[in-house]
Amino acid sequence: MDREQALDELRGRLTNNNLIKHSLAVEAIMRDLAIYFKADADIWGLSGLLHDIDYDRTANDPAMHGMVGAEILEGLGVDQSVVYSVRAHNGYHGIERKRKMDKALYAADPTSGLITAAALILPSKKLEDVTVDFLVKRFHEKGFAKGANREQIMECEKFGMSLEEFFEISLNAMKKIASDLGL
């Protein structure tokens, strides 16, 4: 499946535009992480883009989120490594995140939300004004962006990156698509 087909499938299954923007942000982060690790940016990007493809169906059933998504992706003939990452990205299931891509998706998912929240509290509401230092400071404020699971973000250490390195790549990735994100 190529990116355009994936984006069409995503838009056909999700009704919330903010969730589509979230998926685009996670895709951008995953692509840049793949480049950093000299991995397949298309495959990593697809895992980020499609990780929440089932959210309209599973929003009220966390036990099914990721499982339904993996089933959808299998039915569409998506690469099995993407299917596995989507299944494993929901910590609820306890599925081992075996590969660097699996671990990266798990960490990138809440990171995109933390970065978005950081931009939205600035007067400009623009990603261009967010810095890594600002993100690190906000990361340590427990009351800020409560939905961005800090433990999950810290999984970046399990694929060989410090928090600062991970934030730098993630932030720069999202800045590249700021207009698509409305930020």
User: Most distant CA pair in the chain: distance in Å?
Assistant: 44
The tens digit of pLDDT for each residue in 23-49 reads 999 999 999 999 999 999 999 999 999
Helix count and strand count (H, E) for the chain: 11, 0
Whole-model pTM: value is 0.97
Single-letter amino acid, residue 153: I
Tell the CATH topology of 3-181.
Answer: Hypothetical protein af1432 (1.10.3210)
The tens digit of pLDDT for each residue in 48-104 reads 999 999 999 999 999 999 999 999 999 999 999 999 999 999 988 889 999 999 999
Tokens 């990361």 appear where? 139
pLDDT at res. 93: 85
Rounded to the nearest integer, the mean pLDDT of the chain is 97
For the CA atoms of 170, 84, 156, 126, the dihedral, rounded to the nearest 10 degrees, stands at 20
